[in-house]
């Protein structure tokens, strides 16, 4: 099948996933009504009579739409970040998690939850910002430490150091958790991620971050293609390997860090989405990066939909769903050698 | 075209090669020989700019330390050994990446129609044009080496460096690669510098030979002169001439047996 058609189908798939995410639940709303509500809010077009005095309007606009869009943004961001890490570190199992972003962010968030620490002008955003700062700090210390050990920043050194840092930070997190039993439920929930009670403010902040991050990453797509053949090779082909590698590691850690700092740690999407995309579209990053955004976003929306509807009215942590579906699915994707479509 | 003056280079501040000096004219090929650990790869890495060096390495009279990375890459390309493929691309995509330096656009690099034409030309030159849409992880070692060769040619370099390029290749593919490179340098007026273990291939490719012994130049000269000297025996610490003659004897014997009907030819 031609790449153009595959891209069109993927965009349609993402649109359907978002419509399902917004429309399904305790109250079911058809896509035509959803589009009507959006058009009414943005372009002040008249509302359908059925919607005028219904609770559906509030549920869609105030709860489900921001929640679904946030899920899409977070899923897309971690998936793009995952595909970058895999290429730069030339390891199909690499992700921001391997480098300790999530452990760092979890520790930062845990400290905020346990101490009740609050930065005045940040208000409710103290938690995500601290998560981001801790996540990024862990990655940078890991990469700096790796550079001290091995100036050429060999891929294996980075991955090993990242894992060591991750384990170390996780151990501190376990200690904090053990000492603060009162907050155990809140901590556990954050570590498994959730999109509940997220409103437009989250979407409005995350959207530009993800957009700029993904565009910047996209500008390195040729360099990433070349670097998958090895750094020495890339260097002799004229790529400024050191600069490109640092830029990509920072962008990708920043993207994951910002995304998970809003919603907690959600694993597996960053591993699965890039692999599925490569199976369908091949390895060219010019397509892998934007399609990872679409597929990662859609997967996350679907997982969130399952998380909030399967045991309704209560809700499961979305991280548990992504892992539950993700682990076996990843094994299948990874070990099936053939390309799809 | 390329000249080295008193070049020292190594790793972590410890020199592995010392005082290397030679120069190559356009269209001349050089083979670097020597036992394991004598510094052959280090020399290739220094010329390609992968490791820092002392002394001077000049291309067309300009020191590579004073050139931008991209300018060096426009002159010198490296044909890599076959290594693990982590993410598969089509043959065409892989060769097109060789045009990276020539692609237009500062931030978003895109291949021009000239880049695509040149890629087609390189694919035809190595005989892979008809299967250009195949994925590289479905190829045999010989085919993959040809893909990398086409990508190196697509870079449009003046000099191609080879570090044991014939690893993982069978005899036929080894000979084909060397023949191709020899013709390329002859007709295009470019140079090939290669590290090789196989003396037969080395003599097929090179006009000049540099023999390294413990990081120092043991000899440098015309291939025909070096191969007739006793120096190789000394450097490799074995009787190379006898080894070669022995091999020939085996082949003669083989032919003799074949003629006498003691061996059966299998088609």
pLDDT given for residue A152 in this prediction:
64
Query: What is the DSSP pairing of strand B2-11 with strand B14-24?
Result: antiparallel
- What average pLDDT does the segment A278-282 reach? 90
How confident is residue B213, by pLDDT bands cut at 50, 70 and 90? confident
Q: Nearest CB to A283: which of B88, B100, B103?
A: B88
Token pair belonging to A131: 């998560």
Chain B contact for A341 (CB, 8 A cutoff)? no
Mutation site for A-interface testing, chosen from B76, B82, B87 by largest number of A Cβ within 10 Å: B87
DSSP letter, residue A50: G
- What average pLDDT does the segment B34-40 reach? 87
pLDDT given for residue A180 in this prediction:
81
CA distances from A93 to A84, A263, A322, B209 (A): 12, 23, 16, 45
Give the residue on B whose Cα is nearest the Cα of A236.
B73
pLDDT given for residue A80 in this prediction:
95
pLDDT given for residue A58 in this prediction:
81
pLDDT tens digits, one per residue of B221-255: 887 777 766 777 777 777 877 777 787 788 777 77
Chain B contact for A334 (CB, 8 A cutoff)? no
Q: Give B80's contacts in chain A (Cβ within 8 Å).
A: 229-230, 232-233
Nearest chain A CA: its distance from B215 CA (Å): 22
CB contact under 8 A, A232 and B78: yes
- What average pLDDT does the segment A214-229 reach? 93
Chain B contact for A239 (CB, 8 A cutoff)? yes
Say if the ipTM goes beyond 0.90. Answer: no
pLDDT tens digits, one per residue of A68-79: 999 999 999 999
CA atoms within 13 A on the CB side of A314: 3
pLDDT given for residue A153 in this prediction:
63
For chain A, give every domain's residue range: 3-90+193-339
Q: Nearest CB to B80: which of A219, A233, A283?
A: A233
The neighbour count for residue A153, using CB atoms within 10 Å, is: 19
Nearest chain A CA: its distance from B198 CA (Å): 24
Q: Nearest CB to A236: which of B50, B90, B97?
A: B50
Q: Nearest CB to B97: which of A92, A225, A282?
A: A225
pLDDT given for residue B166 in this prediction:
73
Chain A contact for B88 (CB, 8 A cutoff)? yes
Q: Nearest CB to B89: which of A233, A238, A282?
A: A282
| Burial grade of A21 (CB within 10 A; 0-12, 13-18, 19 or more) | buried
Q: Nearest CB to A228: which of B49, B86, B103?
A: B86
Nearest chain A CA: its distance from B230 CA (Å): 36
pLDDT given for residue B253 in this prediction:
78
Q: What is the mean pLDDT of chain A?
A: 85
- What average pLDDT does the segment A192-213 reach? 85
**Among B83, B17, B48, B10, which residue's Cα sits nearest to residue B218?**
B17
Q: Give A284's contacts in chain B (Cβ within 8 Å).
A: 89, 93
- What average pLDDT does the segment A45-58 reach? 77
Q: Give A239's contacts in chain B (Cβ within 8 Å).
A: 100
pLDDT tens digits, one per residue of B148-179: 989 999 999 999 998 877 777 778 878 888 88
The whole-angstrom separation of Cα B175 and Cα B201 is 7
Chain B contact for A328 (CB, 8 A cutoff)? no
pLDDT tens digits, one per residue of A19-35: 999 888 888 888 888 88
Q: Give A226's contacts in chain B (Cβ within 8 Å).
A: 97, 100
pLDDT given for residue B44 in this prediction:
92
The whole-angstrom separation of Cα B93 and Cα B119 is 9
Report percent pLDDT > 90 for chain B.
29
Greater pLDDT, B242 or A242: A242
Nearest chain A CA: its distance from B77 CA (Å): 6
CB contact under 8 A, B87 and A278: yes
Is the pLDDT at B15 greater than 80, yes or no?
yes
The whole-angstrom separation of Cα A321 and Cα A327 is 10
- Sheet holding B208-213: strands in order across? B76-79, B159-163, B191-195, B30-33, B208-213, B216-222
CB contact under 8 A, B80 and A229: yes
Chain B contact for A152 (CB, 8 A cutoff)? no
- What average pLDDT does the segment B190-208 reach? 85
Nearest chain A CA: its distance from B202 CA (Å): 23
Chain B contact for A222 (CB, 8 A cutoff)? yes
Is the pLDDT at A108 greater than 90, yes or no?
no
pLDDT given for residue A60 in this prediction:
85
The domain A3-90+193-339: what is its CATH number?
1.10.3470.10
Q: Nearest CB to A222: which of B48, B50, B100?
A: B100
Backbone angles phi and psi of A119, in degrees to 5: -85, 120
Nearest chain A CA: its distance from B146 CA (Å): 15
Is the pLDDT at A174 greater than 90, yes or no?
no
- What average pLDDT does the segment B178-205 reach? 86
The whole-angstrom separation of Cα A236 and Cα B46 is 11
Q: What is the mean pLDDT of chain B?
A: 85
How confident is residue A236, by pLDDT bands cut at 50, 70 and 90? very high
How confident is residue A45, by pLDDT bands cut at 50, 70 and 90? confident
Contact at 8 Å (CB) between B195 and B170? no
| Burial grade of A256 (CB within 10 A; 0-12, 13-18, 19 or more) | buried
**Among B80, B98, B190, B93, which residue's Cα sits nearest to residue B153?**
B98
- What average pLDDT does the segment A195-214 reach? 87
Lowest average pLDDT, out of A192-201, A242-251, B175-184, B258-267, goes to B258-267
pLDDT given for residue A219 in this prediction:
94
Lowest average pLDDT, out of A278-287, B97-106, B188-197, B254-263, goes to B254-263
pLDDT given for residue A151 in this prediction:
67
Chain A contact for B103 (CB, 8 A cutoff)? yes
């Amino acid at each position: 099948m031609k790449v153009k058609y595959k891209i069109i189908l993927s965009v349609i798939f993402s649109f359907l996933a978002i419509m399902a995410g917004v429309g399904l639940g305790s109250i079911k709303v058809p896509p035509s009504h959803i589009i009507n509500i959006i058009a009414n809010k943005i372009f002040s077009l008249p509302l359908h009579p059925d919607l005028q005095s219904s609770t559906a309007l509030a549920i869609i606009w105030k709860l489900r739409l921001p929640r679904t869009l946030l899920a899409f943004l977070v899923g897309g961001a971690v998936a793009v970040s995952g595909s970058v890490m895999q290429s730069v570190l030339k390891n199909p199992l690499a992700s921001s998690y391997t480098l300790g972003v999530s452990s760092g962010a979890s520790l930062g968030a845990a400290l905020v939850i346990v101490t009740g620490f609050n930065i005045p002008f940040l208000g409710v955003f103290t938690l995500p910002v601290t998560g981001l700062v801790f996540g990024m700090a862990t990655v940078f210390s890991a990469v700096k430490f790796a550079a001290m050990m091995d100036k050429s920043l060999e891929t294996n050194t980075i991955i090993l150091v990242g894992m060591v840092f991750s384990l170390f930070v996780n151990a501190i997190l376990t200690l904090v958790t053990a000492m603060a039993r009162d907050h155990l439920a809140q901590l556990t929930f954050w570590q498994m991620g959730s999109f509940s009670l997220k409103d437009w403010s989250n979407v409005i902040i995350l959207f530009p971050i993800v957009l700029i991050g993904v565009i910047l990453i996209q500008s390195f797509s040729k360099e990433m293609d070349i670097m998958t053949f090895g750094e020495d090779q890339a260097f002799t082909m004229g790529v400024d390997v050191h600069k490109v590698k640092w830029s990509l590691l920072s962008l990708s850690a920043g993207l994951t860090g910002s995304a998970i700092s809003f919603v907690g740690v959600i694993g597996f999407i960053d591993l699965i989405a890039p692999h599925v995309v490569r199976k369908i579209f091949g390895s060219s990053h010019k397509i892998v990066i934007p399609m990872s955004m679409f597929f990662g976003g859609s997967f996350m929306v679907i997982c969130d939909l399952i998380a909030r509807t399967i045991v309704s009215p209560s809700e499961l942590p979305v991280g548990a769903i992504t892992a539950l579906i993700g682990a076996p699915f990843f094994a299948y994707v990874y070990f099936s050698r053939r390309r799809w479509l | 075209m390329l000249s080295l003056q008193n070049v020292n280079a190594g790793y972590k501040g410890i020199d592995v090669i010392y005082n290397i000096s030679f120069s190559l004219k356009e269209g001349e090929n050089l083979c670097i020989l020597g036992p394991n650990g004598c510094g052959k790869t280090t020399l290739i890495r220094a010329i390609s700019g992968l490791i820092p060096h002392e002394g001077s390495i000049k291309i067309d009279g300009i020191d590579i330390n004073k050139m931008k990375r991209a300018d060096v890459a426009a002159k010198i390309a490296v044909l890599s050994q076959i290594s693990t493929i982590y993410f598969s691309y089509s043959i065409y995509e892989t060769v097109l990446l060789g045009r990276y330096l020539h692609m237009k656009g500062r931030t978003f690099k895109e291949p021009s129609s000239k880049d695509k034409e040149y890629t087609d030309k390189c694919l035809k030159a190595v005989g892979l044009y008809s299967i250009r849409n195949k994925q590289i992880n479905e190829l045999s070692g010989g085919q993959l080496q040809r893909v990398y060769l086409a990508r190196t040619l697509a870079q449009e370099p003046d000099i191609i460096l080879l570090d044991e390029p014939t690893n993982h290749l069978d005899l036929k593919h080894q000979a084909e690669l060397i023949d191709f490179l020899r013709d390329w340098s002859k007709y295009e007026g470019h140079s090939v510098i290669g590290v090789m273990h196989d003396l037969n291939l080395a003599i097929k490719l090179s006009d000049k030979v540099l023999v390294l012994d413990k990081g120092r130049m043991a000899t440098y000269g015309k291939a025909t002169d070096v191969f007739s000297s006793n120096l190789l025996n000394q450097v490799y610490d074995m009787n190379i001439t006898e080894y070669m003659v022995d091999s020939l004897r085996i082949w003669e014997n083989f032919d003799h047996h074949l003629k006498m009907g003691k061996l059966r030819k299998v088609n």
